[in-house]
Chains A and B, each alone.
Chain A
Amino acid sequence: MTSTISPRGVQDLTAQACDLLGVAQPSNRAIGAWLHGLPGVDQVGCESRAAALATRSVKSASKAWAIDTAIRMIDLTTLEGADTPGTVRSLCAKALVPDPRDPATPRPAAVCVYGDMVHVAREALADRRIHVAAVVTAFPSGRAGLAVKLADTREALAAGADEIDMVIDRGAFLAGDYMTVFDQIAQVKAACRRDDGPDARLKVILETGELVTYDNVRRASHLAMLAGGDFVKTSTGKIQPAATLPVTLVMLESVRDWRDLTGVQVGVKPAGGIRTSKDAIKYLVLVSEVAGEDWLSPEWFRFGASSLLNDLLLQRQKLTTGAYSGPDYVTLN
């Protein structure tokens, strides 16, 4: 299944949400009643399920497949105040040629940068098969007015971003002001519309480290999907804890249930703290056994990461050559 919500304005997204909620007008009460009616998440059970899946043993051919798939799912990311055009160009070069010693190495899905670096990345990548993702909406805190957030989004799109990673207003969510969160997502989604090509895909960062409970993660995931998000993403990487297996498990259950409910498939992106191949493979096991194999592609699952790529490359070299090399045999980003 590959359908996504077709590009529409905020009114269309609102009408669709009302239809699903069975109300004439969206309101905090209507959305809240729906979100709080979702089945709860038992913390102990959720964590033990994630831990159990993490014990899967992935060897030989399946490991090789997993490593290549994980590389193709990476949003290679740099989100530092100290980013310069030089560091961004270097990151893009790495994305284009991850391993100069093996041209058969797959490329990551995207490069993820701040909005003002989008044009540098776009120019450096030239090859449009690698997406440029921009973090917007007053990333990472999201503490700005809607006008600023929309301007942020439009600027990134104008500079050539074709994927948008927005943050939700966690404060509004925690205060029960679901309409504000819904409206901001829907507005950004509408801004992602392009007349001159495919729409930019919208990843909605929930910042699960600030939502704290798994119940909140499930509710925020559903809210993001209700408002038209194409992806739900765990974290900015600026708050600890960032991505964890149980949080990703809850999000995978949410997108699976959402497709059962609406027929619409939504992607998942854990981001922050995933550094080793072993970790990445655990996430792929989760995707495969919880959401199902329809999600096992870069179109529906991504890793927000930077150092992960080099670890995957080292493991890949090990599988092809039979010997471990070392950090000096992979290039810096």
Chain B
Amino acid sequence: MPKFDYAPAPESRSVVSIQPSYGLFVDGTFSRPRALFPTVDPADETILAEVSQAGPKDVDKAVAAARRAFDGAWGSMPGAERGRYLFRIARILQERAREFAVLETLDSGKPVKETRDVDIPLAAAHFFYHAGWADKLEYAGLAPTGAALLRPYGVVGQVIPWNFPLLMLAWKVAPALATGNTVVLKPAETTPLTALLFAEVCQQADLPAGVVNILTGDGRTGQAIVEHPGVDKIAFTGSTEVGRAIARSIAGTAKRATLELGGKAANIIFDDAPIDQAVEGIVSGIFFNQGQVCCAGSRLLVQESVHHEVVARLQRRLATLRVGDPMDKNTDLGPINSRAQLDRITTLVEAGIAEGATAWAPECTFPGTGFWFPPTLLTGVSQTHRVATEEIFGPVLSVLTFRTPAEAVAKANNTAYGLSAGVWTEKGSRILWMADQLRAGVVWANTFNRFDPASPFGGYKESGYGREGGRHGLEAYLRGAAG
């Protein structure tokens, strides 16, 4: 029994009211629930609600509603007016932040500390940021001076993942609306509830009918949206495998796509790094959101001369991580989002051990139900191991070493992905050199997993194409934009 053990500090569930079942949000109203499938709380596997599986006819209706809105009030609305709606949505998200944070935690398993301090505030920040762009697009420098105003695509189909349900919705919806498009969005199968609550926010904000349509369902619904002839542009965040399928299916059509896919980021620790902060950066890099982050720092590249010290400090730090009930305000690590994901993590870690890596995890006790995996270090990993090349998408850190900056760059770039990277050193010139050499969309220096709506985000190689956020993110939603 530790001397100073924090008593349970559970966040109250009473701020949310979850309906037993939900319909689809099309043309400003919710349809009658049907073809239901359950969404569960990954912490205890209880069913939170049932949501509707949208079929091809529902996609038709949603796309038609989005088209009407685009051809009607929304499409002809001045930017300043669109901005007002976005500001209104942002303020409502802030006002209802606690409700969103609790619902997100229940449905996704993310610790409430993270939904409260990261997901929801950042989602609101994305709406605020893009609200500001809505009437200033001609000054974004995306078209030559004097050229005609850039036009939105029209109807955008958006398919988002389960790791940051509301935040990814904000990344997609805010720029789409700011630039004047209308949206048909599908939240992930396992985390539909905050998107449905967002639909209520759209109603509360009096957003014109059809501007935002939300269809729940599994991969089939996503596929129907992507393949629908009435959709002008696709924005997808998720696995590289599905991203490839999307790219194939829209080939030869007029549809454009932005794809934000997987990653296997290197977090590179030099021997002159600020060591205590580097340890924190490693921890937030791979254990933030249980490692279910596409830009997670899942490959630790540590200079050989400090390898033992870094690993020892990391182990001491991991022993203080609080794993458990995500609704407890002191929880650092919650459950894995789904059984399927837990199985994938387990399989990959077992493969890593079979290939010669050594696994270490602090002592954790888990409840009998729920999808749990301890924060795990894999040492003795080589570049050829599966755990060094495949995206695990879980709280598992593969530790590799390097001797020289050139070797660090070579190893970091030796991946099919290129979403993000981290560099830890007190030497400013080395940071600049490394940032220049690393083939990754985001390079963090002496920090990791920091996001800001003003900063573009996106990948190289199999991590996808297109950027989200910042001025660059607007390009993805304007026809003929030229950086």
Binding site for B on A (CB under 8 A): 39-42, 44-46, 48-49, 55-63, 65-66, 69, 253, 284-285, 288-289, 293, 296
Contacts and interface: CB of A to CB of B under 8 A. Distances in A.
Contacts of B3: 65, 288, 293, 296
Contacts of A49: 276-277, 280
A39 B279 CA distance: 12
A34 to B, nearest CB: 15
A42 B6 contact: no
Contacts of A41: 274, 276-277
A42 B277 contact: yes
A227 to B, nearest CB: 23
Q: Which 5 A-B pairs have the closest CB atoms?
A: A45-B277, A57-B9, A42-B274, A39-B275, A42-B277
Interface residues of B, number: 25
A40 B4 contact: no
Interface in B236-287: 272-278, 280-281
SS of B interface (majority) = loop
A293 to B, nearest CB: 4
Nearest to A214: B274
B384 to A, nearest CB: 32
Contact of B4 (A55, A253, A284): A284
Given A39-B274, A45-B447, 19 more contacts: A39-B273, A39-B276, A42-B426, A44-B277, A45-B277, A48-B280, A49-B277, A58-B7, A61-B7, A62-B6, A62-B7, A65-B4, A69-B4, A253-B276, A288-B2, A293-B2, A293-B3, A296-B3, A296-B4
A55 B280 contact: no
Nearest to A281: B4
B330 interface: yes
A56 B275 CA distance: 23
Contacts of A48: 280
A289 B280 CA distance: 13
B117 interface: yes
B436 interface: no
Contacts of A44: 277, 446-447
A297 to B, nearest CB: 8
B320 interface: yes
Nearest to B445: A42
Contacts of A288: 2-4
Contacts of B447: 44-45
B4 A66 contact: yes
B276 A58 contact: no
Contacts of A66: 4
A44 B447 CA distance: 8
B330 A56 contact: yes
Contacts of A284: 4
A289 B329 CA distance: 16
B363 interface: no
A59 B9 contact: yes
Contact of A45 (B2, B5, B281): B281
A42 B446 contact: yes
B113 interface: yes
Nearest to B117: A55
A46 B277 contact: yes
Contact of B7 (A45, A59, A293, A296): A59
A65 B2 CA distance: 12
A296 B5 CA distance: 12
Interface of B: 2-9, 113, 117, 272-278, 280-281, 320, 329-330, 426, 446-447
Contacts of A296: 3-4
Contact of A56 (B6, B117, B280, B446): B6
A44 B3 CA distance: 30
A88 to B, nearest CB: 33
Which of B6, B276, B278 has the largest count of A CB atoms less than 10 A from its CB? B276
A41 B446 CA distance: 10
Nearest to B9: A57
Contacts of A289: 320
Nearest to A260: B312
Contact of B276 (A46, A55, A65): A46
A56 B328 CA distance: 10
6 contacts: A42-B426, A44-B447, A45-B281, A57-B9, A62-B6, A296-B3
B482 to A, nearest CB: 35
A45 B446 CA distance: 8
Contacts of A39: 272-276
A63 B273 CA distance: 36
Contacts of A45: 274, 276-278, 280-281, 446-447
Nearest to B319: A292
B332 to A, nearest CB: 9
A108 B273 CA distance: 40
Contacts of B278: 45
Contact of A40 (B7, B117, B426): B426
Contacts of A253: 276
A66 B4 CA distance: 8
Contacts of B117: 55
Contacts of B4: 62, 65-66, 69, 284-285, 288, 293, 296
Nearest to A49: B280
Nearest to A39: B275
A59 to B, nearest CB: 5
Contacts of B277: 41-42, 44-46, 49
A18 B275 CA distance: 25
Contacts of B9: 57-59
A61 B4 CA distance: 10
Given A59-B6, A60-B7, A288-B3, A40 B280 contact: no
Given A40-B426, A55-B113, A63 B276 contact: no
A5 B366 CA distance: 43
Contacts of B274: 39-42, 45-46
Contacts of A62: 4-7
B236 to A, nearest CB: 32
Nearest to A58: B6
A253 B272 CA distance: 17
A41 B273 CA distance: 9
A163 to B, nearest CB: 23
A40 B272 contact: yes
Contacts of A63: 7
A55 B111 CA distance: 13
Nearest to A294: B3
Contacts of A69: 4
Nearest to A249: B276
